[in-house]
Structure 1
Amino acid sequence: MTLPPLPEEDHHCESCGLRYGDLTTAAALGLIRSYPTRYRRRLQHLPVDVLRRRPTSGVWSALEYACHVRDVYDVYDTRVRRTLTEHEPTLEPMRNDERAEQRAYNQQSLAAVLLDLERNVDRFAALTSEISEPQWSRSAVRLPRERRTVLWMVRQAAHEGLHHLHDIGAGATDKAVLFDVDGVLVDSYPAYRRIWSRWADHRNLDPDMVWSHTHGRRPVDTIQVVAPHLDAAAEYRLIREFMAHEGDNFPVYPDAAAVLSLLKDRRWGVVTSGRTPTVLHRLRAGGLPDPPVLVDSSQVRRGKPDPEGYLRAAQLLNVPAPDCMVIEDAPAGVEAARNAGMTVIAVRTTHPDDELAGAHHRADTLSDAIPLITDWLDRTHP
């Protein structure tokens, strides 16, 4: 029987939207750890006949997909361990359809499958978390000229779980995820600190005092607070001149692409204190997609912490505010999202924990937020 070729190292799955090149090791691990809960939530309430029903000839049932994903983490645990300890071992193919028939996937107990899936994921995640930097490039072969690295194996394992959630239906799609930009998708902290410090020095203001009023606010709002005696519009033009001198010193965060790829076929958008042309330029420069909805500073009368921006984004996406999740990094943004009645995850990219206490959840990075995002999205009820 001819085996289908393995995905390439830089594979892009058109079906579930995942790009291997965008998937950092931390993001892959976050995805993998989320699957036991996501599969349990998706499958445990299905009637038995629905659980075991093949929608068409040659297409697996939901239970068969769950069995396959369970076995993926067992097989890939062995594959990675061999590759870490042997010189380019030859890997046995899984032969998925044969395995499904021989092991009677469709007759197995869902409770036992879900328990084994959790155990296999835990074991594989523990192994993956211990891999050192030089080990990611170690490789193995399956067929002649089919050489794949440890990094590919972990990405492939993450992809298997996500792809088959899409095969069986990943849950409700009537929710939306909204992102702040600076400090969440774009690492603008160092550049903006230089810009505001330069402006503060130019106007004989305390740079630390000025900086403390910038986070999550529109620049004109910051100017009006720290220098009410100045013409805010004129000063904003000066700040934009300083910003132009920074050039492209506004990189996207390494995990931003992987997180956005999870939202294929989902509703999402951004709410920013910046301006649309600048935001789109930075997102595109980092290889990120254009947001389906973008609410910038020109579209609201009141900036964060007022909830107007987030409420407008929810309206444009046609999603009730309580069905929106917000990813923020600044206290003003957290307050705006809370005031809008939305669930908030705060990432600790620019502020310490005690300043983000208003968020429902806190995470160090976008990768760490993946299980929180996927768990919330997969819930049938808020």
Structure 2
Amino acid sequence: MFAGRKFAAFLFDMDGTVINSIAAAERVWTQWAQRQGLDVGKFLPTIHGVRAIETIGRLNLPGVDPVREADALLQAEAADLDGILPIAGAVAFLKSLQPERWAIATSAPRELALLRMKAAGIPVPAVIVAAEDVTRGKPAPDCFRLAAERLGVDARDCLVFEDAPAGIAAAEAAEATVMVISATHGHPLQTPHMAIASYDGLGIAIDDRGWIAPSPELAAA
């Protein structure tokens, strides 16, 4: 896997990558889109992997304040945690990592991220970069670069786990290596990157420096 490469740290997106929150998120966004008179079927695919304020802002809806609407959506999403589950194998895989060697970089606000991780039983890392921590959201590379910086490593030495096109583009822009998680994809995602459907069967090998290599062979050990 990755031709024997080792990484200084692993950086994870959250929604769709370590947890499955699609049902909850789409319930809330569907109601919002209906109130705005949007075509829900066309709109929903655009919400994933991007900060709410940017999703709303690029619509340029007359009379709609993206900041106010994003805040309202945060409260609605925080109140709807039904059906939020971990991606298969994610909990055990994250617990196998050294705390100083992994972080979450999400487009969700910190409050919502913590609620969803708790609902899914996902361990909370020491480093979380959330929506409010960066000026530019994905597909800009800022969140991954900041997460790497807070871990004391270079983003170019990191493996990023992502599921959404905006996040993949952000990781590429940060010059990180990318692993695509396809667990929540309804349709195949065309990507040049390695893709796995779950963390089941994925283990790690750690060298003397603490650098990590994904190792499918170790997972069954």
Give the alignment's TM-score, normalised by structure 2.
Answer: 0.83
CA positional deviation for 1:354: 5.0
- Conservation of the 8 A alpha-carbon contact between 2:16 and 2:183: yes
CA positional deviation for 1:305: 0.5
Partner of 2:15: 182
Give unpaired runs (5+ residues) of structure 1: 1-33, 35-40, 42-171
CA positional deviation for 1:237: 2.8
CA positional deviation for 1:312: 0.6
Please, which of 226, 243, 246 is the counterpart of residue 80 of structure 2? 246
CA positional deviation for 1:284: 2.9
The superposition leaves residues 117-167 of structure 1 with CA deviations (integer Å, 9 ceiling, x where unpaired) of xxxxxxxxxxxxxxxxxxxxxxxxxxxxxxxxxxxxxxxxxxxxxxxxxxx
Distance of aligned partners of 1:351 and 1:287 in 2 relative to their CA distance in 1, 3 Å threshold: closer
Partner of 1:303: 137
Task: Give the number of the structure whose residues are more often strand, by fraction.
Answer: 2
- Conservation of the 8 A alpha-carbon contact between 1:307 and 1:340: yes
Q: Which amino acid aligns with 2:136?
A: R
Partner of 1:211: 44
Distance 1:265 1:191 in 2: 29
Distance 2:138 2:156 in 1: 18
Distance 2:75 2:196 in 1: 34
Distance 2:150 2:100 in 1: 14
Please, which of 206, 213, 216 is the counterpart of residue 378 of structure 1? 213
CA positional deviation for 1:377: 2.2
Q: Which amino acid aligns with 1:197?
A: T
Q: What SS does the aligned partner of 2:20 have?
A: coil
Please, which of 125, 137, 159 is the counterpart of residue 325 of structure 1? 159
Distance 2:127 2:86 in 1: 18
- Conservation of the 8 A alpha-carbon contact between 1:216 and 1:332: yes
1:39-118 equivalent positions in 2, closer than 5 A: none
Partner of 2:217: none
Q: Is 1:362 aligned with 2:195?
A: yes
Partner of 1:312: 146
1:13-32 equivalent positions in 2, closer than 5 A: none
Partner of 1:346: 180
Q: Is 1:196 aligned with 2:29?
A: yes
CA positional deviation for 1:277: 2.3
Q: Which amino acid aligns with 1:179?
A: F
- Conservation of the 8 A alpha-carbon contact between 2:78 and 2:115: no
Q: Is 1:279 aligned with 2:113?
A: yes
Task: Please tell me the root mean square deviation across aligned C-alpha atoms, in Å.
Answer: 2.6
Identity %: 33
- Conservation of the 8 A alpha-carbon contact between 1:177 and 1:326: yes
Aligned length: 207
Distance 1:327 1:278 in 2: 20
Distance 1:312 1:244 in 2: 25
The superposition leaves residues 13-45 of structure 1 with CA deviations (integer Å, 9 ceiling, x where unpaired) of xxxxxxxxxxxxxxxxxxxxx9xxxxxx8xxxx
Distance of aligned partners of 1:268 and 1:244 in 2 relative to their CA distance in 1, 3 Å threshold: closer
CA positional deviation for 1:248: 4.1
Distance 2:23 2:118 in 1: 20
Task: Give the number of the structure whose residues are more often helix, by fraction.
Answer: 1
- Conservation of the 8 A alpha-carbon contact between 1:196 and 1:210: no
CA positional deviation for 1:340: 0.4
Higher RCO structure (Cα 8 Å, ≥6 apart):
2
Give unpaired runs (5+ residues) of structure 2: 215-221
- Conservation of the 8 A alpha-carbon contact between 1:345 and 1:363: yes
CA positional deviation for 1:344: 0.5
